[in-house]
Structure 1
């Protein structure tokens, strides 16, 4: 039986990739088609109760990304070689274990650090370029999460076509899950009786939060009973977004929740009137799919992977044109037939994505050789 060691150390240390680690490892493990070992932090043990303890490699004292990177590069490859010399190692982000003797698979989610100016600090950009260049050479096989991501990789690394396969992410259908209101901050609970437009992302330049704020400002008097809710933690250069809100005198209409837990996220989706995802660049983009599952009309940028994932042209806008964003918001607000048709089509699109399907395709990928 093919043996795979899956590195899930990022599970609660990073947002989207952390969720990818957890959901994909569970979907693969539940199939029992490969001998599957999962590397986790001790703090995340409860989240992996689906796996037998003998199939978990539990690591202590990983508190931050630097400690994780060091462990992944220098300690974990030696441990795997000693205990599982014939295993394939899967690192589910762009960084491969450079000195590993085992065969290595990596998942590449995006190359924003190459394609998007000011996506990260210069130090982070330098590090990501350095480690990605080495990782692409080191990896025996590479998973791209969309055709867009594959095209980005081939743009920068044109000789690796034979290494790459596209396996789409699943998404979390939170709409079927219980919401524990005791686990929700009061400022979020207070939104229950409000009408609001929701966007979910870390506040950083490539997420284009200033674009949705400017679009909202253009139509604030036409949707005077609406608020704009920005759900996500502060990231790189977040201060500029707060300045825009102050300069436009929108402090009473724009709500910043800060970082949120799963119950708060579900609550926000459930009670939102419209979901807008104005990002300049995404390797996949999970939040729009999550929003769709709550039957919220969902619109998003017409760039990067988003048209490929969302599949509905009528729900896409130019993220560089906030007037276009505002017009599409008003069209949904004023045209009930258009709104209902979007929601109906979204239900069909969601059938394309599940972690079960993602896990099944990944197992096939493992077994190919």
Structure 2
């Protein structure tokens, strides 16, 4: 079977977890399902980041005359031309890893992934135009896709509640998580960020409001007021309002206890996981939530919320705060985590082999 995959939306280093998921999937397809052929529809300005896949006989790259850096033009091009391009490439089924499925299409079946319906739950985080577009895109995707993949049971139930006519098309397939031992020496990062091994808390997150970073920053302020200044908070991620974040840090007077790394490579992130004391994940809304699982695979204790899908995907194995916006409870739970010996959790069901098997089944059954 020839499977087309829309990658026009990937803005390298900007799309966060969604980009990681699709790259993990591509690695999995080449390793565990090379009997199929994969046509990667890429943009002019992200093509280079996918060119190494041409080393695999089962992968073909199709560069489209559009740039991912301009979302409006990209979405328009996808709606007008992607399906015809897929027909010309003779694909048997199209995988759309995000919400940008073409409005109309040929007889090629489409399998679309919906990661969450965040704009329904938190409309205040989106402009009126973006809200309208997302609602249109989700409705169109649900009506015209042969199959919808939800990345957790929480998301599946959320979609079925709002679009009941799509219930028989829905299937839950979790995100694939690829964990590796970092080959990076911690001494390099220690010098770069002025860190001590095992003397910092780690968090991987964008700076969007639903990530609830303000609460853990207030927890750090509380620790400083109590004279607990030995351990820093290291935050890695992109997206959101950096300027507002810096204003908050300055107002709380905790700049000396915070390290903002910005975007980090997978190797840097893994090294920071491996050498932290406790991993923190204060988000109150996720469709899946990869970082806590990545941290627990490294044997780190995780303090996090249990909102939306988070207790589901972490299987109840983390330490959960009951009041996500209470800095004092975060501090108590953090101290509790520090008293417990970390245990590596394998989470085999998120392995590439397991997830790729489920994706291939969904794609080939269309």
- When normalised by structure 2's length, the TM-score is 0.89
From 142, 148, 159, give the equivalent of 2:154.
148
Distance in 1 (CA, whole Å) between partners of 2:196 and 2:365 is 49
1:97 is paired with a residue of what secondary structure?
Answer: coil
**1:330 matched to which residue of 2?**
335
Distance in 1 (CA, whole Å) between partners of 2:196 and 2:133 is 42
Change (3 A) 1:183 1:39: farther
Conserved? CA contact 1:179–1:267, under 8 Å: yes
Q: Is 1:285 paired with 2:289? A: yes
Conserved? CA contact 1:146–1:166, under 8 Å: yes
Conserved? CA contact 2:6–2:95, under 8 Å: yes
**1:83 matched to which residue of 2?**
89
Distance in 2 (CA, whole Å) between partners of 1:151 and 1:197 is 33
Conserved? CA contact 1:185–1:264, under 8 Å: no
Q: Is 1:320 paired with 2:325? A: yes
Conserved? CA contact 2:96–2:110, under 8 Å: yes
From 345, 348, 358, give the equivalent of 1:347.
345
Q: Give 1:121-160 correspondences, 5 Å limit.
A: 121-160=127-166
**1:110 matched to which residue of 2?**
116
**1:258 matched to which residue of 2?**
262
Q: Give 1:1-369 correspondences, 5 Å limit.
A: 2-11=1-10, 12=12, 14-30=15-31, 31-41=33-43, 42-52=47-57, 55-59=60-64, 61-64=66-69, 65-84=71-90, 87-101=92-106, 102-174=108-180, 176-179=181-184, 187-188=192-193, 190-193=194-197, 195-220=199-224, 221=226, 223-235=228-240, 237-312=241-316, 315-318=319-322, 319-333=324-338, 335=339, 339-340=340-341, 343-344=342-343, 346-348=344-346, 350-369=347-366
Structure 2, unmatched stretches of 5+, are: none
Size of the alignment, in residue pairs?
Answer: 356
Change (3 A) 1:185 1:6: farther
- Cα displacement string for residues 158-197 of structure 1 (whole angstroms, at most 9, x for unaligned residues): 22110100111111203x2422789969643x32457111
Conserved? CA contact 2:202–2:235, under 8 Å: yes
Distance in 2 (CA, whole Å) between partners of 1:142 and 1:171 is 20
Computed over aligned residues only, the root mean square deviation of the Cα atoms, in angstroms, reads 2.5
Conserved? CA contact 1:109–1:284, under 8 Å: yes
4+ residue segments displaced more than 4 Å: 180-186
Deviates more, 1:251-260 or 1:212-221: 212-221
Q: How far has the Cα of 1:328 moved from its partner?
A: 0.3
Conserved? CA contact 1:38–1:56, under 8 Å: yes
Distance in 2 (CA, whole Å) between partners of 1:185 and 1:197 is 14
Q: How far has the Cα of 1:132 moved from its partner?
A: 1.8
Conserved? CA contact 1:170–1:355, under 8 Å: yes
Change (3 A) 1:280 1:135: same
Conserved? CA contact 2:306–2:320, under 8 Å: yes
1:316 is paired with a residue of what secondary structure?
Answer: strand
Conserved? CA contact 1:207–1:279, under 8 Å: yes
Conserved? CA contact 2:5–2:95, under 8 Å: yes
- When normalised by structure 1's length, the TM-score is 0.88
